[in-house]
Amino acid sequence: MASRALAQRQLVALATGFALCLGGSVTEIALANSETIEPVATVRFFERRGEGWFWYENQSPAEPLSKEPNVEPTPPSSMDKAEGTPPLSTEWLRLNMPKYLDRAIDDPTPENVRAYYYLNRVWLDKGNKFSDVAQEVVTQDAFLDETTRRPLATYAANEMNRQAGLSRADALQEIARQAGIYFFFHSECHYCAVQAPVLKTFAEAYGFAVIPVSLDGQPLPGSLYTDYRVDNGQAQQLGVEHTPAMFLVRPPDRMVLLAQGALAFAELTERVMMAGKQLGLVDDDQFDRTRPVQPVPSTAEIKLDGNAAMTPEKLVEQIRNNARVR
């Protein structure tokens, strides 16, 4: 009880110490004066009689020298792209099957329909052959086999879930020793009323100190969190727009938003774990042990040598050598 009271005092002191600073600037715009337009002097026709009768005068502006119009190159058609492509290859089928299908629909003779379905048979057979070889490759390479990450057998998957649950409980207890939770609510918020027992159960399960803050100065319906604080501007400083709002707080001055809305127990668990990682309360290894998958090499951050000859064998070799175990 004494440690929880101490944690609560630290968290309250943290919330009241935040300040929100807003600033702005005003830009003045000056309007430029209009330029003075001088009138053009008019000359009567009789004073210009030396020019001849007006209908003989060419009033049209001088025509510019004609230029040859720019001719855009015609993009190659799908038939042009297909030239030089081996017949019945994947690229050839991708380019030509839509044309055979259009022909069969527009002119559904037995010959046209049969031709399209023969091409479709080739496409399907190619896909089946690829699938057979892919299954053989994947099952013989632990780097590609998903059962390496998570087994498909029910008994093994259940054991992995159990081990991940034990690691998650340890990690959450470690987070609770260093951080607490702010719980912002409104007395007339129905979702706050149903969130409160879930949050209380979660906090008691892992030892979290919860500081409830009432936005309107009134308690929640029922008897939960009757020792609430009244909001003195903390909600605005933290950007609270919806309730219930929950934050994971690490004294003296760090916090991460968990949600502005109701969360189920499992969702709350996952978000606290992610927030704890963000705040540095658990490291990568601890976090990975809470997930029901095996740590395996990851290709997410691989950078390959672009100058190397990318044969299939070289590509596979570089990916395997550069993958990092996580």
**pLDDT tens digits, one per residue of 183-212:** 999 999 999 999 999 999 999 999 999 999
CATH class of 156-289: alpha beta
Q: Name which residue leads in pLDDT, 302 or 89.
A: 89
> Residue 82: pLDDT above 70?
no
- What are the pLDDT digits (tens) for 103-134? 999 999 999 999 999 999 999 999 999 999 99
Question: What are the two backbone dihedrals, phi and then psi, of residue 61, each rounded to the nearest 5 degrees?
Answer: -65, 160
Q: CA triplet 128, 132, 135: central angle to 5 degrees?
A: 135
- What are the start and end residues of each CATH 3.40.30.10 domain in the chain? 156-289
If you count them, how many residues does the chain have? 326
Instruction: Work out the number of other CB atoms within 10 angstroms of the CB of residue 143.
Output: 13
At residue 106, what is the residue type?
Answer: D
DSSP state letters, 171-190: HHHHHHTT-EEEEEE-TT-H
Distance of CA 70 to the CA centre of its chain: 44
> Residue 40: pLDDT above 50?
no
At residue 46, what is the residue type?
Answer: F
Q: For the chain, how big is the Rg over CA atoms in Å? A: 37
Asked if residue 110 has a cis previous peptide bond (ω within 30° of 0), the answer is no
End-to-end Cα, the chain, rounded Å: 39
> Residue 145: pLDDT above 50?
yes
Asked if residue 292 has a cis previous peptide bond (ω within 30° of 0), the answer is no
Confidence tier at 319 by pLDDT (50, 70, 90): confident
Tokens 């309107």 sit on residue? 216
Tokens 């959450």 sit on residue? 172
Among 184, 255, 188, 258, which residue's Cα sits nearest to residue 220?
188
Q: CA triplet 124, 130, 135: central angle to 5 degrees?
A: 125
pTM of the model: 0.61
Q: How far is CA 228 from CA 185, 208, 209, 220, in A?
A: 10, 16, 13, 9
The helix or strand, by DSSP H or E, that contains position 246, with its residue range, turns out to be strand 245-250
Confidence tier at 267 by pLDDT (50, 70, 90): very high
DSSP code, position 296: -
